[in-house]
Amino acid sequence: MSKKIKAYNGAAGGWGALASTTRFVLGSKQPAANLRNLLRANQVKGFDCPGCAWGDEQGKHFSFCENGAKAISWEATSRRVTPAFFKQHAVSQLRRQSDYFLEYQGRIEQPMYLNRDSDHYEPISWDDAFALIARHLNGLDHPDRLELYTSGRASNEAAYLYQLFGRAVGTNNFPDCSNLCHEASGVALTRAIGVGKGTVTLQDFERADAIFAFGQNPGTNHPRMLHSLRHAARRGAAIVTFNNLKERGLERFADPQSPLEMLTPKDSRISSLYLSPRLGGDMAAVRGMAKLVLEWDAAALQRGEPGLLDRDFIAEHTQGLDDYMAVVAATPWQQIEQQSGLRREQIRQAAEVYASAERVICTWAMGITQHKHSVATIREMVNLQLLRGQIGKPGAGLCPVRGHSNVQGNRTVGINEQPDAAFLDRLERHFHIPMPRRPGHNAVAAIQAMLDGRSRVFIALGGNIAAAAPDSHVTAEALANCELTVQISTKLNRSHLMAGKEALILPCLGRTETDVQASGPQFVTVEDSFSMVHASQGVGKPNSPHQRSETAIIAGMAQATLGSKPVDWLALADDYHRIRDHMAATLPGFERFNERLQQPGGFYLGNSAAEHHWRTATGKAGFAAEPLPEALLPAEANGEPVSVLQTLRSHDQYNTTIYGMDDRYRGVYGQRMVLFMHPDEIDRRGLNEGDLVEMISLWHDGKERKVAGFRVVAYDIPAGNVAAYYPETNPLVPLHSTGDDSHTPTSKSVAVLIRKQASPRIL
Ligand SMILES: Nc1nc2c(c(=O)[nH]1)N[C@H]1C(S)=C(S)[C@@H](COP(=O)(O)OP(=O)(O)OC[C@H]3O[C@@H](n4cnc5c(=O)[nH]c(N)nc54)[C@H](O)[C@@H]3O)O[C@H]1N2
Ligand SMILES: Nc1nc2c(c(=O)[nH]1)N[C@H]1C(S)=C(S)[C@@H](COP(=O)(O)OP(=O)(O)OC[C@H]3O[C@@H](n4cnc5c(=O)[nH]c(N)nc54)[C@H](O)[C@@H]3O)O[C@H]1N2
Ligand SMILES: [Mo]
């Protein structure tokens, strides 16, 4: 694989995407099965694409994208990780391999057991694996010594059973990937509008006059979103992008599923205005927009013209405007410009688009949620939308673009370390099991509890916490401290190697595969970013007869630990309709669940804020009056320049799963160890492009956090900001550098020192 840096001049999508899709499908060892799979992704009678949580356009012939194709092909490999593989490869040896190597080995074939003294995983029967888990759990002196992690791929049925199992054992310790991801969105939206989810549906994108996209890279991470943006741009809607980097997908896009765009060189311009704030500068930018809107409003009123604010909406539905106006007035332009890194003139252009649009949607993802002041930033976006009544009318609203394909559904069905009392009451009444009332651990708290020895058993329903969590060495130590770690997984990953004293890998079916239980073939359900719940049924043949469904695995653990009373776990796993009946009885919005799933395309769970019903303490939507953060991060430490690092995804990865070594739209080929830096900053630091550097992050606990072997690449990025890929940079993110009130690691603002490596040898 040759390494090169070469600017990508095409539009996102287009022939490049088609060529890449074809390569992945053909390279996957079972092209025919994969093509069949692709054609069934996101169909009424097919499976939900595991690639992302974007919604499906009803009536579209087929809807998948290059990166969805990668996700599907990657799962449907015929390669297997067998007991012989583990016999051949010691755990200590596998630890030295890359994440790419590990996942490339294929699907885990059988349940495997590790006693850490032996350094080799060995096969274990399902019954013995469940008995081992039961022995550990029943031996705990307190149920809160158990941590139950969830990655957002699990179905609603599996996640519901999992939370019931954990709560029946007696804990609310449900750390999940959402704690590392969109937690700030949930917290901010719940406080502001009384519901922690987006208020728009996919149809709203067809009616918006302006769409503001903050801190996200849909060309790579939500390619189907580009279809919605392209439609909007083509019918004349304004798309305003705030992104620290110039992302190709947000500049230009050609739809690989549109014959016309493929055959004519015409691609669609996506953003009509593209602004590149400094990392963490979005709150200041939005504050600037609000300041202008308020000024223009006051001036209009003075001239006797109608103002810009939606005064009826504000009077009827909101509280806190006066305090907010005071804090906006008190925010000086100098601070806004300095913190956002944008000129007042640029912010004015964005504010003009906002003020002149009838219907506005704001979308955002990790560029907003992984900072210290993420909750405050999201509240500032809500403030802006409230000023003009841009919530709960067609074509307008708030849209956190979720990550994992069912992360939103997992939360809805109870994966929540801080469940509300009403939900616990309902579970208690329905199942006649006393429910734990103590709040549980989020991801960071769970890692700390394992580190301290307070938590002893770690079970993961999917994911790869060892690579996904911050402070990789600390996380590894936390896992190693456990008596037992259990990973329910499809593929080999780093978390299997960072094992507790004893460890299990329990191999499960993937979403694209058929799932047959005692009562026959099963389907599961998922919820997308737009609160649409629909069925998903796999079509591919399972890769091995030993693999079990996630639901069956959870039922097996629960049955062995708790017996079959009062819940007959195995009977639930025999027929998922039974799980859905319990869900219907205990989850608001899921009434007549099985029956409503008959509707093609599923059903809409509804959103109280979109109906102008505000479930906040005051019964109204709240303006938040917070000053901007005092300062973002220091510009220097002991005379040495400090840069702010964002850790992000390349085009060829799915979180910790590395599909390939290219990041096509950013012009990076054959490598991942790169550091994007502004040319002036490269000069200022006396570096040259291609130099090898190491990075050391700053945190006040005296521990050294360092990574080395990164190659400097000149890039269009604000000076003082740098970017490099996750998970290679996770050792730099301090565990306790977290967002205020969200407790999410600040993966998009890490203060780092950058030093040229003395020897070019990669350490
Ligand atoms: N193919 C693929 N699809 C995925 C995933 C994947 O890894 N691969 N992951 C899934 C998951 S779990 C998630 S959460 C989503 C992630 O989707 P994204 O949020 O798009 O993921 P990141 O790669 O972290 O990209 C962050 C983007 O925000 C910008 N940014 C960073 N900091 C700032 C800032 O302070 N301000 C502004 N304005 N911009 C900033 C970056 O330049 C980058 O474009 O995608 C989901 N879909
Ligand atoms: N530095 C930094 N760190 C980050 C981020 C960042 O931007 N920067 N982003 C954060 C975000 S947004 C997220 S969501 C987390 C992601 O954290 P996780 O969700 O924990 O990680 P993934 O890489 O998505 O998990 C991949 C593993 O899931 C397993 N898997 C795949 N499909 C299935 C399935 O169907 N069932 C089961 N049981 N297992 C399956 C496979 O074994 C695979 O190895 O990472 C976070 N960490
Ligand atoms: Mo995520």
Residues at Cβ < 5 Å from ligand 3 ion:
181, 403
> Which residue type occupies 233?
A
pLDDT at 259 over 80: no
Helices (H), 563-667: 569-574, 576-586, 593-596
Torsion angle of the four alpha carbons 422, 425, 431, 433, in this order, in degrees rounded to the nearest 10: 140
Q: Is the per-residue pLDDT at 257 higher than 70?
A: no
Predicted pLDDT at 636? 87
Compute the distance between CA of residue 440 and CA of residue 159 in angstroms, rounded to an integer: 16
Residue 164 · residue 424 · CB < 8 Å: no
Query: 41-50, 332-341, 401-410, 594-603 — which is least confidently predicted?
Result: 41-50
* pLDDT exceeds 80 at position 652: yes
pLDDT band at 70 (very low <50, low <70, confident <90, very high): confident
- What is the mean predicted confidence (pLDDT) over 415-441? 98
Q: Residue 381 pLDDT more than 50?
A: yes
Whose alpha carbon is nearest atom 6 of ligand 1? 654
* Ligand nearest to the CA of residue 176, numbered in listed order: 2
Name 178's Cβ contacts closer than 8 Å, sequence gap at least 6. 152, 186, 407, 410, 411, 415
Question: Is it the case that residue 63 has pLDDT exceeding 70?
Answer: no
Q: CA 153, 538, 255: angle at the middle one, nearest 5?
A: 75
What pLDDT is recorded for position 762? 46
Diameter of the chain measured on Cα atoms: 82
In this prediction, residues 73-77 reach a mean pLDDT of: 81
Among the listed ranges 204-213, 567-576, 752-761, which one has the minimum average pLDDT value? Answer: 752-761
Distances (CA, A) of 541 to 42, 108, 689: 18, 15, 48
pLDDT of res. 262 = 59
Task: Give me the architecture of the 80-177+416-601 domain, per CATH.
Answer: 3-Layer(aba) Sandwich (3.40)
Q: Which ranges in the chain are annotated with CATH 2.40.40.20?
A: 636-756
Q: Where in the chain is the domain with CATH 3.40.50.740?
A: 80-177+416-601
Q: Determine whether the shortest distance from the Cβ of 493 to ligand 2 is under 6 A.
A: yes
Tell me if the domain spanning 636-756 has CATH number 2.40.40.20: yes
| Average pLDDT across the chain, whole number | 93
Please tell me the distance between residue 664's alpha carbon and the centre of ligand 3 in angstroms: 21
Q: Which atom of ligand 1 is nearest the CA belonging to 370?
A: 32
pLDDT number for residue 24: 67
17 touches ligand 2 (CB under 6 Å)? no
Nearest to residue 558, comparing CAs of 158, 231, 113? 158
In the three-class reduction of DSSP (H, G, I as helix; E, B as strand; rest coil), residue 501 is classed as coil
In contact, 40 and 59? CB cutoff 8 Å: no
Judged against a pLDDT cut of 50, whether residue 61 lies above it is answered with no
- Distance (Å, whole) CA 387 – CA 377: 16
Token look-up 């083509």 returns 234
Give buried/exposed letters for 638-671 (b at 16+ CB in 10 A, else e).
eeeebbbbbbbbbbbbbbbbbbbbbbbbbbbbeb
Q: In testing the pocket of ligand 1, which one of 212, 245, 632, 646 has its CB within 8 Å of the most ligand atoms?
A: 646
Give the integer Cα–Cα distance in Å for 584 and 616.
Answer: 25
Distance in angstroms (rounded) separating the CA atoms of residues 666 and 341: 22
619: pLDDT strictly greater than 70 = yes
Residue 402: which of 394, 393, 391, 411 has the closest Cα? 411
Query: Which is more confident, 59 or 367?
Result: 367
List Cβ neighbours of 629 (8 Å cut-off, separation of 6 or more).
280, 283, 339, 372, 373, 376
Pocket of ligand 1 (CB under 6 A): 51-52, 67, 181, 214-217, 220-222, 242-245, 247, 277, 279-280, 282, 365-367, 403-404, 646, 648-649, 653-655, 748
The residue whose CA has the least distance to atom 37 of ligand 2 is: 462
Write out pLDDT tens, residues 284-342: 999 999 999 999 999 999 999 999 999 999 999 999 999 999 999 999 999 999 999 99
Write the pLDDT tens digit of every residue in 140-186: 999 999 999 999 999 999 999 999 999 999 999 999 999 999 999 99
Q: Mutate which of 47, 101, 149, 177 to test ligand 2's pocket (most atoms within 8 Å of Cβ)?
A: 177
Beta strands in 57-98 (DSSP E): 80-81
* Amino acid at residue number 663: D
Q: Any idea which residue has 């927009």 for tokens?
A: 289
5-32: per-residue pLDDT in tens? 888 888 777 767 777 776 766 666 666 6
| For ligand 1, mutation pick of 244, 273, 665, 728 (most atoms within 8 Å of CB) | 244
Q: Residue 475 is encoded by which pair of tokens?
A: 């996380």
Residue 466 pLDDT exceeds 60: yes
Residue 152 CA, closest ligand 2 atom number: 19
Residue 415 has pLDDT above 60, yes or no: yes
Confidence of residue 224 (pLDDT cuts 50, 70, 90): confident
Report the amino acid identity of residue 614: W
Cis peptide leading into 545, omega within 30 of 0? no
Q: How confident is the model over 505-564, as pLDDT tens digits?
A: 999 999 999 999 999 999 999 999 899 999 999 888 998 999 999 999 999 999 999 999
CB atoms within 10 A of CB 209: 19
Could you please state the CATH topology (level 3) that the domain comprising 183-400 is classified under.
Dimethylsulfoxide Reductase; domain 2 (3.40.228)
484: CB partners within 8 A, 6+ apart = 132, 133, 136, 456, 457, 458, 500, 501, 502, 503, 504
Contacts of 598 (CB under 8 A, 6+ apart): none
State phi, psi for 241 to the nearest 5 degrees. -110, 135
Candidate from 63-77, 392-406, 439-453, 716-730 with smallest mean pLDDT: 63-77
732: its two tokens: 């730099």
| Pocket test residue of 151, 415, 492 for ligand 2, highest count of atoms within 8 A of CB | 151
- For 391, residues 6+ apart whose C-beta sits below 8 A from its C-beta are 193, 199, 382, 385, 397, 398, 609, 610, 612, 621
| Rg, the chain, Cα only | 25
Which pair of structure tokens corresponds to residue 173? 């310790």
Residue-level pLDDT at 9: 81
Domain with CATH 3.40.228.10 in the chain: 183-400
pLDDT, tens digit, for every residue of 577-589? 999 999 999 999 9
pLDDT-based confidence at 252, cuts 50/70/90?
A: confident
Helix or strand or coil: residue 586? helix
Please determine, for residue 256, whether its predicted confidence score (pLDDT) is greater than 90: no
